[in-house]
Chains A and B, each alone.
Chain A
Amino acid sequence: MHRDEIPPGTLYLLILKTLGRSGEMHGYEIANSIQRISDDVLQVEEGSLYPALQRMLIKGWVTAKWGTTAGNRRARYYQLTAAGRKQLAVEMSQFERVIGAITRVIEAV
């Protein structure tokens, strides 16, 4: 099956949105969630989630704490902060503006 690379710069948005929808998640769950919801179209190079998550930790958009998975394994769970929610809104509107513009360009006769 063909999978598309995610557009550059949207990784934060995807993570923020995913976390915003489902509360706490660990990295593997985030990767799976993005893939599943995009009907397997969006393919993240899964490892690159982790540097991104670190940057988001620095920015204070997410917090992390260790918990236990259903399979009783130790995992680090990420959760959105208030700053993260605000950032999500910012990124959403930015994204929509860009997509809207691109759409208009493509659909122009």
Chain B
Amino acid sequence: MNWLREVARRLRMLVHRSQFDADLEEEMHLHLELRQQEHFESGMTADSARAAARRRFGNATYLKEESRIAWGWEWFENLAQDVRYGARILRKSPGFTAVAILTLALGIGANTAIFSVINGVLLSPLPYKNPKQLVVIKEHDSLPNVIDIQRQTRSFSQGGGINVEKMDYIGATEPVQVRVGLVNAGFLETLGVQPVLGRIISPAEDVQGGPHLAMVSNHFWQDYLGSDPHAVGYTIQLGGNSYTVIGVMPASFAPPAEHADVFVSLIVRDPGAGAERDLHFLHTYWRLKEGVTLAQAQADMAAIDRRLAEQYPAEEKERKSQLVPLHEWLVGDVRSALLVLFGAVGLVLLIACANFASLLMMRAVAERRELVIRAALGAGRGRLIRKTLTESALLSVLGGAAGLLFAKLGTSMLLTLRPEELARLSGIHMDTRVLLFVFVVSVLTGIVFGMAPAWIAARADVAEALKESGRSTTASTMGHSIRRILVTSELAVALVLLVGAGLLIKGFSRLSSINPGFNSANVMTMYLQLPKTRYGEIPKQTQFRRELLTRLNSLPGVQAAMVTDIPLGGNYVGHRFVIAGRPPVAVGGEPKVQTLSVMGDYFHVMQIPLRAGRDFTPLDREGQPLAAIVNEEMVREFFPHENPIGMRIRWAGDTGPPQWMTVIGVAGDVKHSGLNQPTDPAVYTPFSQNDEAWRRFMMLAIRARDVSPGLVEEVKKQIWSLDGQIPVSDVYAMDELIAVSLAQQRFNMLLLGLFAALALILAAVGIYGAMAYAVNQRTHEIGIRTALGAQRRDVLRLVMRDGAKIALFGIASGIAGALALTRLMASLLFEVKPTDPATFAGVAILLALVALAACYIPARRAMRVDPMVALRYE
């Protein structure tokens, strides 16, 4: 407790420092006066009395200093003094200060923005209970399998699956479509979510014929239930059925990768799901038991897979469930991009720091005489270093503060640009961790990069420095060569970034010039789903589809068709199939193709070219021979040396008599899953010959001269004139879908491009600064050369040669660095080699031109040097 009181006393002294000085002064003054008085009264003269008093007292200044030091605040006072002094110096040279702060602010700002994204995406834990225990099975699975795994597992404490289906919700002002998460009881339990109202479904209720219960998301509760605190017990109409609300989820809760507004039991809503082992459509999440490792769980899972495969060879023969930690699975795609960007932005900071150091060095040389005088007056070397470091730390902290502003702008820009993969992770903002990051980075920058100038300052040799006239001393030539090294490395690093950006730009332009296989211009699409209650049978579905298309096609300037899954729309259905006349394949081992149903002139509307055979006609309908159109990839893979037209295929696993379809045509390949994804073999069949009643959904594809909101309204009017309770959703222009599919690549390219531009500017400023300074230092020499008859051209060559040498070294080492580093970004590149020679050459030339342009300005100044003025300058 004593030391605590002592600290309190010391702190009080710190606060009342000026009072302390005054008190001490007064006290000592009184002492001296009383002593002087005493001597005077004993008969001394006034003068000798004062002298004697002083003698007896000792060195008052020294003693005052001693008294202050006793309190232990000396370091603080020095620091405060240095900061005050530094601030004054910085105010006195606003140009230097602004350039230094701006340089650092750009570097730190860009870093902070990227770091906040990394912090939010890669470092922050997922918003679930014990998120480290959560894993996903990469492959989708069926409900019976999920139940079997739950029963057999020795590694998972919980597990559950979800599939999101759109259902119409009646109860809002117009029929709306909501996303319903069809789950089993384990799903919400696995994620460990606690409802804010009510409860979650229990395993006893999650059974065939169980009660219709719904757990609603917080935003559904707000939007449609008016945030009613008594919402539990409400009845809501979903997809033609009544559900009782039993729970409301917290606002912070969302499934890891899905968007859902309501959660209901899959088996209650679809009693057949319990038997459909081969319908793998659930995405499943599992929680590892305490102490179980991923490898153990994977081994356990493999054993379960084997048992299931033996037990159900027809459906599960090829089971291979891969476990991935949930966090890794979620950030997998963005991780490498973010790390490359973080590396890139780190390089930008490095360049900014090099510029900063170079600026400081220039100053240190300019200020050397002042430092030397201070040293001559007795300032310690440590104190001088501290003073210089304080100044650079002050600058870098200011730069960090300004950088925060840039980062704020940068982060909001990143958020508008962010690809879908980042969008689902919401925790992107600046928190204490980010602020700490900025603070540490800026202070370290100041100290590390202030070191060199401080060192130069400390080496000040008093005698020599006072003699010299400001040029060509060892310290300043040393400073000069350090600066050349700094500028060279800046150029090298800038080149690395430019190459990276160049490669991404090239890859992106390759990617965006890829032919998707259809013409996206003037086409829009929307999603419809027919309610099961009124459209449970295929004839009713077909009738609706046919009637709708007739009405839409009668609109002026409109061509409409429909398809199960639109390209780039994110949905995909695949079936196994059998080719007639080929040797039989083991059940479950048949090849898989993408399966699409169409109605109307789909190929015509999408402008997918027909390569062979004929298109579907209205005659290819129910009751007629089954027809199919295959894509080119299917021909390449399965009919490489035959004419596919007339070949017969059927779906594997058909029960009853085989339903053979005859191939009537070949359509061009379409990029269905993404422009950078390969095309799968695909089979198109007419909707009207479809025998799968569960396919009650469709996407309209509408080509019109003018795709406008008015058209969308017109189409909706036509749909609702047929059936007023069919919700419409996912209205997109095809061009938008293409843009979305390019978003991640665009994001990478824009950011790296931005960083490279920043690097280029900073490096140009760096080489400009170095050359301008060099010219300034050599004014005298240039004057003499001119006086001796050197032409302006010679002077130009003199300066430019110097700059060119730096540029050349920088570019050469940059190329070496880029060759080593661009390999790391290979996974981000599309059809471009990380060592693409054209990119390397182009970037090197660009950088050389910029560097020479930056040298040209000081070189011109050198040409205009008047020899008379230069010589008089002495």
Contact = CB atoms under 8 A, between A and B. Distances in A.
Interface string B50-89: 0000001111100110110011000000000000000000
Given A47-B63, A48-B63, A75 B30 contact: yes
B56 A45 contact: yes
Contacts of A75: 27, 30
A54 interface: yes
A80 interface: no
Contacts of B64: 50
A103 to B, nearest CB: 31
B31 A54 contact: no
Contact of A47 (B5, B6, B10, B28): B28
Nearest to B33: A73
B26 interface: yes
A28 B31 contact: yes
Given A26-B27, A58-B71, A74-B26, A50 B63 contact: yes
A57 B9 contact: yes
Nearest to A76: B27
Nearest to A59: B6
Contacts of A26: 27, 30
Contacts of B277: none
Interface string B33-63: 0110000000000000000000011111001
A31 B10 CA distance: 26
A58 B26 CA distance: 20
Interface string B1-43: 0100110011000000000000110111011001100000000
A25 to B, nearest CB: 12
Contacts of A48: 58, 63, 66
A48 B59 CA distance: 9
Nearest to B64: A50
A55 B24 CA distance: 13
A7 interface: no
Q: Which of A45, A46, A73 has the most CB of B within 10 A?
A: A46
A23 interface: no
Given A46-B35, A58-B71, A27 B63 contact: no
Nearest to A74: B26
Nearest to B8: A60
Interface string A43-74: 00111101100110111100000100000011
Contacts of B63: 47-48, 50-51
Given A55-B70, A58-B70, A47 B30 contact: no
Interface string B369-394: 00000000000000000000000000
Contact of A50 (B28, B34, B56, B71): B28
Contact of A51 (B2, B57, B67): B67
A57 B67 CA distance: 11
Interface string A12-31: 00000000000000111001
A93 to B, nearest CB: 20
A47 B27 contact: no
B71 A60 contact: no
B9 A50 contact: no
Given A28-B31, A31-B31, A46 B6 contact: no
A45 B35 CA distance: 13
Given A45-B56, A60-B5, A50 B67 contact: yes
Nearest to B28: A50
A60 B9 CA distance: 9
Contacts of A27: 27-28, 30-31
Contacts of B2: 60, 83
A48 B66 CA distance: 9
Contacts of B26: 74, 76
A46 B31 contact: yes
B6 A73 contact: no
B53 to A, nearest CB: 9
Instruction: Name which of A27, A31, A51 has the most chain B CB atoms within 10 A of its CB.
Output: A51
Interface in B512-553: none
B76 to A, nearest CB: 15
Nearest to A31: B31
Nearest to B65: A51
A31 B53 CA distance: 13
A55 to B, nearest CB: 5
A44 B254 CA distance: 80
Nearest to B26: A74
Contacts of A60: 2, 5-6, 9
A101 to B, nearest CB: 30
B186 to A, nearest CB: 66
B32 to A, nearest CB: 9
A55 B71 CA distance: 7
B6 A54 contact: no
A70 B634 CA distance: 115
A35 to B, nearest CB: 10
Contacts of A73: 30
Nearest to A66: B23
Contacts of B67: 50-51, 54
B35 A54 contact: no
Contacts of B30: 26-28, 73-75
Contacts of B59: 47
B5 A50 contact: no
Contacts of B56: 45-46
B34 A51 contact: no
Contact of B24 (A31, A46, A50, A83): A50
B24 to A, nearest CB: 7
Nearest to B23: A76
Contacts of A59: 6
Contact of B66 (A28, A51, A74, A83): A51
A51 B6 CA distance: 17
A76 B59 CA distance: 20
Given A60-B6, A73-B30, A75-B27, A47 B70 contact: no
B34 A47 contact: no
Nearest to A51: B66
Nearest to B63: A47
A31 B294 CA distance: 80
A95 B296 CA distance: 74
B10 to A, nearest CB: 7
Nearest to A29: B34
Contacts of A76: 23, 26-27
B70 A45 contact: no
B57 A47 contact: yes
A99 B66 CA distance: 29
A100 B377 CA distance: 49
B6 A28 contact: no
A45 B71 contact: no
Contacts of A55: 70
A57 B20 CA distance: 12
Nearest to B53: A46
Interface of A: 26-28, 31, 45-48, 50-51, 54-55, 57-60, 66, 73-76, 83
Interface of B: 2, 5-6, 9-10, 23-24, 26-28, 30-31, 34-35, 56-60, 63-64, 66-67, 70-71
13 contacts: A27-B30, A47-B28, A47-B60, A48-B66, A50-B67, A51-B66, A54-B70, A57-B9, A60-B5, A74-B26, A75-B27, A75-B30, A76-B23
Ranked nearest first, the 9 interchain pairs of A and B with the lowest CB-CB distance are A47-B58, A51-B66, A47-B63, A47-B57, A54-B67, A51-B67, A45-B58, A28-B31, A54-B70
Given A47-B63, A50-B63, 4 more contacts: A26-B27, A54-B67, A54-B71, A75-B30
